[in-house]
Amino acid sequence: MTPIHFGQASELFGFFHPPTGAHRDAAVVLCGSHGDEMVCTHRTLRELATRLAELGFSVLRFDYHGVGDSLGNDRDPARVAAWTSSISQACDEARRRSGAARLHIFGVRLGALLCPTVASERNDIEGIVLWSPITRGRIFVRELQALNAMSAGTEWEVKETPALSEGDAEAGGFLLAKETIADLGRVDLLKLAQTPAKRALLIGRDDLPLDESLVKHFTSLGVEVEQRVAHGYAGMMTSRHNAKLPVKVIDEVCDWLASIEPARNATSTASTSSPSTTRDEQGGFSETAFHFGDSSRLFGVLTTPISATQERPVIVMLTIGANPHYGSNAMYVRWARNFSSLGFSSLRFDISGIGESDPSPGEPPIQPYPKAAATDIEAALGCLREKGYGKFVLIGLCSGGYHAFKTATLDPDVAATMIINAQTFDFREGDTLDVTRAHWETVSATEQYKRSLFSLDKWKKVLRGGVNLRSVFNVVSARAVGVVKARLSRFAPKVKEDDRGAFAAEFEKLCNRGTDVFMVFSTKDPGLDYLNLHAKREIEALSGNPKFKFVEIGGPDHTFTPIWSQVDLEARIRERLAQI
């Protein structure tokens, strides 16, 4: 697969997968969703593209304008028009690169909502595949807002922020501007007047049936419609490291497209991947997407300021859990572009088996703490050294924070390490990878009960028998066990069952070496309990060291989902970068 920038002013980013099997004279454009759904479906779209290329199709998968690695952002005007234009430009690019006679489109969720409109306007689409299609844009908006509301107030605190204007909405860490909400509300597939394609495959979810009205409307427009239901949607949308590939859905799509596109005898050979660069003159940066490392199996995006006034260390953003290189809530993309205004170049890349990087030999994919991580990071730093960079700032959240810490202890060229909500500093095989909703609910309930201790009305309710004291005790005790252990560590030898506190001395060594150490934790994050248990005294002892900074932010969840917390976190990182 080859990274490409295309479209007007090369503002769109994607991957072109040339056919590797018996050639079919057809190209397929894959259209994903938005926000957290974009992240959840990323692995599936890559696998689908690979499978289709093996069947002889030319395939292009891409990010909409302002989404993923494409230029722009959610605050730009006319988002829906930009997204539909992105789909049309991707179709043009697929035709240009492949020379294929026929063109097909696949869309999931938002992609399934927008693809039919684009196809009906182009009149050159042979087949269209819609997975979990939504008939009306307002339904899509309501679903995103409902999912956001389920977590707001439980996993994170709701706070006002100037980043949101009246009428804007949050959707799982991403912005839906007022204008975007209104424009999506006007999208209605049941009002399509032109035929989108000759043939259509509609695939329902395993947890939600197809809307028969869409089938009837497509049929009335002269579309030859096939319906199928394949399990896999729910398993794909769960936590990243536990997510399952929807193999049956991928099989259905591949079988259907192969059945309507005959294969030729000739076998195609994939082209060699080469770097692709774009420039944002207004933003003042350029970006190059490229593969590197052994067998070029690793992928990253290097952002550089167009005009830098002074030499700065290069920032390396390390993979967050099993998220692709754009990071949770696409924070890495924003940071890379925004920090370029401070004169910093930055590399965001995928470690083995995550995002666009292939697993290391013998390892399964989707491992937030892979054995090859140290080698991968070494390859990334080596690649940057070849480009002329000599000093590094490592930034990582969760497992990325762990890798940032470990690499800093080994490489003296690390000028600073920024560790955000790391869950451990000594990961071992068999350790849990989950940061569960149950933890946040327990912490939130504990705080609520603590406040209730000082409420006269609550005590009256207890005396009347209106409170389940056993339930209260269970919630509070679950949180208290970790807290008591952490606080005992102030006055007694370490309370531990092993030697996991040995890492604590490394913080002082890093500072004495001249490496800036910046640690950020959400107040309710389980990683903070871990740190307090094993290194509270060491952290307190470093409080006066100018090379060390420790910050707690009250209110966010583990991945800084609420937009106010993303703004807060970026401001704190920017302030620290200015001191390096």
Which residue is listed with tokens 């170049």? Answer: 345
Of the three residues 207, 236, 260, the one that is the final residue of a domain is 260
Angle at 268 between CA 265 and CA 269, to 5 degrees: 150
Give the closest residue to 138 by CA, choosing from 205, 67, 187. 187
In a domain, 242, yes or no: yes
Q: What is the DSSP letter of 140?
A: H
pLDDT beneath 70: ranges in the chain: 240-241, 265-271, 309-310, 430-501
H helix or E strand, kind and range, residue 62: strand 58-63
Residues 533 and 571 in one domain: yes
Asked if residue 448 is part of any domain, the answer here is: yes
Q: What is the pLDDT of residue 271?
A: 64
Q: Indicate if 330 and 469 belong to the same structural domain.
A: no
216-234 pLDDT, tens digit per residue, is 999 999 999 999 988 888 8
Domain annotation covers residue 145: no
Let me know whether 306 and 219 are in one domain: no
pLDDT, position 489: 43
Give me the amino acid identity at 262: P
Query: Which residues have C-beta within 8 Å of that of residue 527, sequence separation ≥ 6?
Result: 398, 421, 422, 423, 424, 521, 558
Q: Are residues 222 and 194 in the same domain?
A: yes
**Bridge partner list, 226:** 201
**Phi, psi at 434, each rounded to 5°:** -90, 135
Tokens (6 digits) for 154: 């439980």
Shared domain check, 441 and 302: no
Q: Domain limits at 478?
A: 437-488
Task: Mark whether 484 and 543 lie in a shared domain.
Answer: no
Is 385 found in the same domain as 530? yes
Confidence (pLDDT) at 25: 93
CA 299 to CA 539: how far, in whole Å? 35
Give the number of other Cβ atoms within 10 Å of residue 220's Cβ: 10
Assess contact for 205 and 37: CB atoms under 8 A: no
Distance in angstroms (rounded) separating the CA atoms of residues 105 and 125: 7
DSSP letters for 207-227: TB---HHHHHHHHHTT-EEEE
Instruction: Give the pLDDT confidence score for residue 444 in this predicted structure.
Output: 46
Given a contact cutoff of 8 angstroms between Cβ atoms, the answer to whether 559 and 398 are in contact is: yes
pLDDT at 496: 45
CA 568/CA 522 separation, integer angstroms: 11
Give which of 20, 124, 53, 197 is closest to 61, Cα–Cα. Answer: 53
What pLDDT is recorded for position 448?
44
- Is 477 found in the same domain as 346? no
In a domain, 383, yes or no: yes
On whether residue 152 sits in a domain, the answer given is no
Residue 75 within any structural domain of the chain: yes
How many CB atoms neighbour CB 444 within 10 A? Answer: 18
Strands (DSSP E) found in 271-310 = 276-280, 285-292, 298-305
Kindly provide the residue ranges of all beta strands, DSSP E only, lying in 371-510, ordered along the sequence.
392-397, 414-420
Does one domain contain both 467 and 526? no
Are 131 and 222 in the same domain?
yes
C-beta separation of 14 from 63 below 8 A? yes
- The one-letter code for the residue type at 163 is A
In the block, tokens 């991945």 appear at 559
Last residue of a domain, one of 209, 225, 260: 260
DSSP state of 360: P
DSSP readout, 499-557? SGGGGHHHHHHHHHHT-EEEEEEETT-HHHHHHHHHHHHHHHHTTT-TTEEEEEESS--
Which pair of structure tokens corresponds to residue 261?
A: 């596109």
Rg of the chain's alpha carbons, rounded to an integer? 25
Q: Hunting for tokens 């069947």 — which residue is that?
A: 55
Q: Are residues 212 and 333 in the same domain?
A: no
Is residue 465 packed enough to be buried (19+ CB in 10 Å), middle (13-18) or exposed (0-12)? exposed
Q: Domains in the chain: how many in total?
A: 3
Within this chain, do residues 428 and 446 fall inside the same structural domain, yes or no? Answer: no
